[in-house]
Amino acid sequence: MEGGNNYFKEKLIFTSEKSSEQVPLFNLHKFLIKLFRFNSNVESQLVILTPLTLLSEETLSYLKEGPLLELENCRRIGIRISSETIIKQIPLNELQPHSRILRSKLKKSGFPATHPLEGSMGYLINLDKLLAGNEGRR
């Protein structure tokens, strides 16, 4: 699935006296709902803003050819995430690598590790890889 364009349907526009900035939004919330086949209609109310400089060359060039194509003066990208978000410190020893046989595939797709807890399974996301839509590329 071409993760990129389907989920880049919105953008924020900031205007000020001096300039206007267009920030494309990636709907990670919808993306994850679709990917994990959750049965949920809940919309996301939360957006994280990230400067483009934090993205890798590869991802940037991919985005510039796609969703970022006609955007002028674009310094940041927005990520829509679930409203039920918490910020937490996790010690590294709580993170586990994926089962070896699945490891490379999941890493390439942007899920480098798991966070298994009593009664739940967490997935670590590498946003850079995810945005690049590597999982859909052959």
Binding region for another protein (CB under 8 A): 35-37, 96, 98-102, 104-106, 109, 111, 114, 116-121, 135
The CA dihedral of 8, 128, 112, 48, to the nearest 10 degrees, is -70
Instruction: Quote the least distance from Cβ 115 to another protein, whole Å.
Output: 10
Specify the residue, 72 or 118, whose C-beta has the smaller distance to another protein: 118
Q: Determine the Cα–Cα distance for residues 79 and 10; give it in Å rounded to an integer.
A: 10
Q: Which is nearer to another protein, 18 or 100 (CB)?
A: 100
Q: From the CB of 117, what's the least distance to another protein, in Å?
A: 8
- On the CB side of 106, CA atoms within 13 Å amount to 15
Q: How far is the CB of 101 from another protein (least distance, A)?
A: 6
Minimum CB separation of residue 114 from another protein in Å reads: 5
CB atoms within 10 A of CB 59: 21
Count Cα neighbours of 7 within 13 Å in the Cβ-side half-sphere.
Answer: 25
Taking the least distance from each CB to another protein, the nearer of 88 and 100 is 100
